[in-house]
Chain A
Amino acid sequence: MTREEIADGLAAVGYIADRDLATALLLMDMLRRPLLIEGEAGVGKTEVAKALSDLHGTNLIRLQCYEGLDQSAALYEWNYQRQLLAIKAREGADAEAIEAAIFSERFLLARPLLAAIRQDVAPVLLIDEVDRADEEFEAFLLELLSDFQVSIPELGTIVAKTIPRVVLTSNGTRELSDALRRRCLYHHLDYPSQDREVKIILTRVPGIAAALGRQVAGLIAALRREELAKVPGVAETLDWARALLGLGVADVGDDPVAVYETLACVLKTQEDRARIGRDVTDRLIAQVA
């Protein structure tokens, strides 16, 4: 695949990628490295993985990280209840046979990381918000991402059937270790340019007129230049476009009241709401209408 094919393919599944991102995705396949995507909340980091799995027609396996995430929630766990039942059911049988039976694959609960390396077709593994997990987990992840094998004491080593495409996202709540950063390709995702945002709106909101899409993108770009506590992301843009479309607004200049009332889609703190009053809204509308 060339870079253009990747960009076109992503566009076909509804993700408008910039050229640099397409290059990074191309390198992911070429160098077999995971891709670390950083950027503000709401710029579409998670969407990249979803679009990538659509593009390759494979499964998306998602691991949401949180503080205290451990191996049993991320990698594998034995199904203890079933094991107990099995022990009761075979009471009196040969102990060795029971042990062999209960520590077999049937009793293994594969969590996302193990599931990802046991697929027949290489899936996309999304490790979301990796900065929320603890440092110890990060070290463990690093080991898995370089070897793609897991050793389970009772069962032996499981080697990856296929190497998944790994996408990691980070919001920067904690600094990631240098080792993990070095292992990964890096892409910094910014808010989309106005042109790209227009394309995103037109792709993701069916039935919207190009003129309204352009106006919404213009308003969002203007809002992002205001000093907001919570800068609206792409999801907010799409919500807003859908809201305006649903209210039958064809031109924001004709219906400033509707624009003002639907600002709830974009401004998510009371502080921002107070900052963008009626007068500011009218000024912004005048810029784009």
Chain B
Amino acid sequence: MARLTAENLQRARQLIALYPQSRSALLPILHIAQEQDGWLTPDAITHVAELLDLEPAEVYGTASFYDMFFTHPVGRHLVSVCTNLACMINGGEELLEYAEARLGVAPGGTTADGQFTLEEVECIAFCGAAPCLTVNWRFFGNVSNDDFDRLAEDLAAGRLADDVPPHGTLNRVRRQVGLMAGAPVSPGDDEDAKPPQATAK
């Protein structure tokens, strides 16, 4: 139950610098906090509030609006099965029932070993491959019961670690630069600017 680590604190400050108003960085920073601990701990919420000059209640009140943020611990693998229309008419509800039986938990529940949390989700925009699910927001389509068995085994054995990072890790690509448009003009810069070449074909 930790505050943000030094590295994550630095990432948070870099995010804040990208926005005209600091509070805009709240959702991206909460994703970092969730990446760090797997869920949003009270300490992390307090720390994020301090960074953005907000009350912890304001941070909690915002976080609680969004389905992807958890204010309680969840499993290492968040299995989200879609049952919305396109999946429903292609076996999504049956897949969810199968997942419940296979993992031994109802939607919202976490397995005793902390490996899996199961949830029913609304449409995740992968309807061309219905029924579908995500694990930690990595997509799997046209999932049969056998596929689900294999997937659960592979995840538990750590065989998919490269494709499916632990819960909370959303975007593994870091932004390489800060804001540049307003950077001061270096001497001679504008003289170097050439008229753009039209390249229409």
Co-complex (A, B): no
Show the binding face of B for A, using Cβ within 8 Å.
none
Show the binding face of A for B, using Cβ within 8 Å.
none
